[in-house]
Every structure is written in structure tokens, then in C-alpha cells.
């Protein structure tokens, strides 16, 4: 018996000593009901109300890691990184194989958690650098997504040992995508119309399944994975893709094959996470709804996106992109040019031009939620 099952069994056994069978079943149902209510409130952008329901769910079902993952997600949205980390740790204590909780802890660790201010010794005043550092930490502690703003998850493709495509000048795809994603996030957050989160903010590897999982765990409205890899000879411009099992053409098949190739070298596989029961009909309806929303988002983004030459051609298609499979929300891949194209590689090698790509992308994404 694994640790998760043992904890669950002990919890149920303890309750069974004082509760008859019908009451025990009613208690479990109440816990699921509270968790589902908290999940619904979370998706409505009400993390404070969601936390109240999820704390009740945790009281009724203390051995359910899904409840603590939802609680951590609500605390992240409420701007409480410390309590969120503790909730994800609790999910891991219940189930050490919970990959979602481990991934969210890794994401929270990308930025140090705010620490309480320490009193300075009376005999020494804080230096200007220390005062600025403290002010910066206090600003970070107070920072959180503004209530009501749609959340977008930006995914800078590749990272770590996976460089992606490398252009003739030596520009690595992982570096170009990170630079564009960071600048796009800054522009989106400054717009006051949307809020962006990133799957990575530094040069490290993230499994494909974990990238899209961030969107599901944070209740994102849109997941956008940024790339600038390689296409068929003679192809160029911007290409926007959504997920379909069959590619829309030869170019889509080639791009999907290239982007999916990294999954063969990933040491960590997607965890199997238990979810609330849902009928096949409901699951099918959800998939169809996400597919239609992804198609509409791709068409709207292609219509709104305006970039300078040589990236002024924008096309939309679909293909079997693994990074989009488990997003749980509308999900797109955006190829912001191709490093296999000499003209576009020269364009993307310039930091100012990458900044222009980020501004254009942020403007188009903002228009999707206007």
C-alpha cells in the first residue's frame, strides 16, 4: 500500500470508529461538494471565497491531495506565495508522487518568497542599497494579480539543455523565446487589461506536460507557447497553431514533429492525477468547447497581430502539438518567425527587434480580451 492510500485509509478508519456507514458517505460527499464549490469560485476569479470553501473541504477530507492543490492555487491567485507553498507541500506529504504539487513548488521557487523584515542593530543605519532591497521585497510581497483581470500563461519554448533550434549566428531558440516572453509579460501586465504568468523565467528545462499544467492549475484563460524554430524550406513569417490530432498541412506536420521531439528525452513523465468523477459525455463536451475556443483564439490572434517585415505574414493552422494537449483552457503555439530562415534569424538576433515582436504580441493578446 502506498503512502497516499495508507493516509486515506487511516483517515477513513478513524472516522468509521465514530460514524455509521451512511454518515461517513455523507461526509465524503460533503467534502467533494465543498471542493467543487471552491474550484468553481476559483475559476470565477474569487480566490478569497474559494479558500473558505476549500478549507472546509480539507477539514472534511484531510487525505485528499486534490483539495490542497486547489487551495495552493487559490492562495497563489490571492497573492499569498508562502501559504500556497505550504498547501502544495501538504499535497506532497499525502502523495509524494503528486507531480502537479511538485511542479508548482518549483514555479514558486523561481522567485524567493518574501521574508519578514528584520530589525537593524541600533548602532548601524541601513545602507541605501539595503533600503532599496527592502522596498523591492515589500513591493514583491504586495504584488498580486489584480482582481478580475484575465490570466494568460506564456510559455517560453525549450530551456536548459534543450536549446531548440540554433540559427546561423549562434542564436538559440530557448534564449529568443525567453526574451520575447519576458518582454510580452511586462507589456501585458502594464496594460491593465490582462495579467501574464510564465512557465519559466530563467534558463532551465520544463517538461512539455508541466508547461500546459500551469494553465490548468492557475485557472488561466489562455495558454500561449512561444517558439521560433524551423519550418520547411522557403517558409517564414508568424505561424499560429492549435491542437488537433491531424495536422492542417505539410508545414504543420513538420513543425509539430520538431517541437514534439524534445519529449523523447524528458526524464519525468506526466503524473496520473485523480480528478472528480465526470461522465464521458461531459468530458467530451469540455474537449469540444476548448477546441472551439482555441480555434476562435487562433483566428482572432492572427487577425490582430501586426509585426514588421519579415514577420508580417501571419498564418493559422493546427497539428498534434504535445505541449497543448493538457492545458485545460484554449491553447496556442505561436512561431514568431523561424531561425531556419536567414532573414528572420538576422531579425530576431537584434534585441530591439525582439522587443517590437513582444509589443506587437502583447497588443494582439490584449485585444482578445477587450
- 116 vs 111: CA distance, rounded Å: 15
Q: Is omega for the bond preceding 310 within 30 degrees of 0, making it cis? A: yes
Phi-psi region at 121: left, alpha or beta (left = phi > 0; alpha = psi -120 to 50): beta
CA–CA dist 249, 242 (Å, integer): 13
Instruction: Check: CB of residue 195 under 8 Å from CB of residue 188.
Output: yes
Final residue in a domain of this structure, among 51, 80, 110: 110
Read off the pLDDT of residues 170-226 as tens digits, 9 standing for 90 and up.
999 999 999 999 999 999 999 989 999 999 888 888 888 888 888 877 788 999 999
Contact, 174 vs 158, CB < 8 A? yes
Using DSSP's 3-state secondary structure scheme, residue 16 falls into: helix
| pLDDT at residue 231 in the model | 86
Q: Name which of 257, 172, 176, 262 is nearest 211 in CA terms.
A: 262
- Examine residue 141 and state whether it is found in any structural domain, yes or no: no
Parallel, antiparallel, or unpaired for β 238-243 and 331-336?
A: antiparallel
Three-state DSSP at 41 gives: helix
**Structural domains of the chain, count:** 2
Q: What is the CATH number of the domain that holds 66?
A: 1.25.40.10
Q: Is residue 155 part of a domain?
A: yes
3-state secondary structure of 163: coil
Q: What is residue 194's three-state secondary structure?
A: coil
Given 110, 134, 167, the domain boundary residue is 110
CA dist., res. 94 & res. 80, Å (int): 22
Residue 7 maps to a domain? no
Whether residues 252 and 310 share a domain: the answer is yes
What does the chain come to in residues? Answer: 370
Calculate the dihedral angle through the C-alpha atoms of 213, 214, 217, 222, rounding to the nearest 10 degrees. -100
Domain co-membership, 101 together with 232: no
Cell of 293: 475556443
User: What are the start-end ranges of the H helices in 120-196?
Assistant: 128-142, 173-191
pLDDT of the chain, 370 residues: tens digit per residue: 444 444 443 343 333 333 344 443 444 457 778 888 888 888 788 899 999 999 998 888 888 888 898 999 899 888 888 899 889 888 888 877 776 777 788 777 765 545 444 444 454 555 565 565 555 444 434 444 555 789 999 999 999 889 999 999 999 999 999 999 999 999 999 998 999 999 988 888 888 888 888 887 778 899 999 999 998 888 899 999 999 999 999 999 999 999 998 776 665 555 544 444 444 554 566 778 889 999 999 999 999 999 999 999 999 999 999 999 888 899 999 999 999 999 999 999 999 999 999 999 999 999 998 7
* Shared domain check, 225 and 80: no
**CB under 8 Å to 194, separation ≥6 — which residues?**
149, 150, 151, 152, 188, 365, 366, 369
**Helix or strand holding residue 260 (H, E):** helix 250-260
* 57 domain-assigned: yes
Q: For residue 106, is it within any domain?
A: yes
Alpha carbon distances (Å) from 13 to 7, 9, 10, 307: 10, 6, 5, 62
**Residue 274 belongs to some domain of the structure:** no
Domain boundary among 60, 80, 110: 110
For the domain that residue 339 is a member of, what is the CATH number?
3.40.630.40
Whether residue 126 is contained in a domain is answered as no
Domain that residue 39 falls in: 22-110
Q: Which of 221, 370, 243 is nearest to 303 (CA)?
A: 370
Query: 303 and 350: one domain?
Result: yes
Distance CA(260)–CA(220), nearest Å, equals 23
| Grid cell digits, residue 40 | 468553481
Residues 105 and 156 in one domain: no
Locate the DSSP E strands across 266-363.
314-319, 331-336
The verdict on 212 and 351 lying in the same domain is: yes
Q: Strand 331-336 relative to strand 222-227: parallel, antiparallel, unpaired?
A: parallel
- Give kind and range of the element (H or E) at residue 31: helix 21-43
Are 49 and 164 in the same domain? no
Are 102 and 177 found together in one domain? no
pLDDT, tens digit, 9 for 90 and up, residues 229-276: 998 888 899 999 999 999 999 999 999 999 998 776 665 555 544 444
- Both 39 and 187 in one domain: the answer is no
Contacts of 179 (CB under 8 A, 6+ apart): 351, 354, 358
In this structure, the answer to whether residues 193 and 290 fall within a common structural domain is: yes
The answer on 312 and 224 residing in a single domain is yes
Same domain, yes or no: 173 and 102: no
Q: Is residue 129 part of a domain?
A: no
Helices 208-218 and 99-108 cross at an angle (nearest 10°) of 80
Amino acid at each position: 500500500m502506498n503512502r497516499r492510500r495508507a493516509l486515506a485509509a487511516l483517515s477513513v478508519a478513524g472516522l468509521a470508529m465514530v460514524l455509521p456507514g451512511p454518515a461517513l458517505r455523507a461526509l465524503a460527499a460533503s467534502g467533494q461538494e465543498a471542493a467543487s464549490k471552491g474550484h468553481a469560485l476559483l475559476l470565477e476569479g474569487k480566490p478569497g471565497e474559494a479558500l473558505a470553501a476549500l478549507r472546509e473541504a480539507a477539514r472534511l477530507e484531510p487525505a485528499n491531495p486534490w483539495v490542497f492543490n486547489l487551495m495552493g492555487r487559490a492562495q497563489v491567485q490571492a497573492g499569498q506565495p508562502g501559504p500556497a507553498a505550504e498547501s502544495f507541500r501538504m499535497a506532497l506529504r499525502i502523495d509524494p508522487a503528486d507531480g502537479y504539487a511538485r511542479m508548482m513548488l518549483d514555479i514558486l521557487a523561481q522567485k524567493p518568497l518574501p521574508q519578514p523584515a528584520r530589525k537593524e542593530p541600533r548602532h548601524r543605519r541601513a545602507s541605501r542599497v539595503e533600503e532599496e532591497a527592502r522596498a523591492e521585497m515589500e513591493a514583491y510581497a504586495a504584488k498580486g494579480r489584480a482582481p478580475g483581470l484575465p490570466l494568460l500563461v506564456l510559455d517560453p519554448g525549450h530551456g536548459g539543455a534543450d536549446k531548440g533550434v540554433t540559427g546561423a549566428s549562434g542564436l538559440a531558440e530557448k534564449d529568443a523565446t525567453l526574451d520575447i516572453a519576458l518582454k510580452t509579460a511586462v507589456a501585458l501586465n502594464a496594460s491593465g487589461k490582462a495579467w501574464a504568468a510564465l512557465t519559466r523565467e530563467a534558463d532551465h528545462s520544463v517538461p512539455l506536460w508541466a508547461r500546459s499544467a500551469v494553465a490548468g492549475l492557475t485557472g488561466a484563460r489562455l495558454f500561449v507557447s512561444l517558439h521560433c524554430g524551423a519550418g520547411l524550406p522557403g517558409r517564414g513569417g508568424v505561424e499560429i497553431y492549435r491542437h488537433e490530432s491531424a495536422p492542417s498541412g505539410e508545414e504543420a506536420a513538420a513543425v509539430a514533429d520538431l517541437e514534439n521531439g524534445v519529449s523523447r528525452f524528458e526524464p519525468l513523465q506526466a503524473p496520473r492525477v485523480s480528478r472528480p468523477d465526470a461522465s464521458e459525455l461531459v468530458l467530451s463536451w469540455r474537449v469540444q468547447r476548448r477546441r472551439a475556443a482555441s480555434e476562435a483564439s487562433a483566428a482572432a490572434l492572427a487577425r490582430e497581430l501586426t509585426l514588421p517585415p519579415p514577420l508580417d505574414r501571419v498564418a493559422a493552422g493546427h497539428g498534434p502539438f504535445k505541449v497543448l494537449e493538457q492545458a485545460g483552457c484554449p491553447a496556442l503555439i505561436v512561431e514568431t518567425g523561424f531561425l531556419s530562415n536567414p532573414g528572420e534569424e538576422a531579425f530576431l538576433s537584434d534585441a530591439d527587434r525582439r522587443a517590437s515582436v513582444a509589443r506587437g504580441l502583447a497588443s494582439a493578446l490584449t485585444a482578445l480580451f477587450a
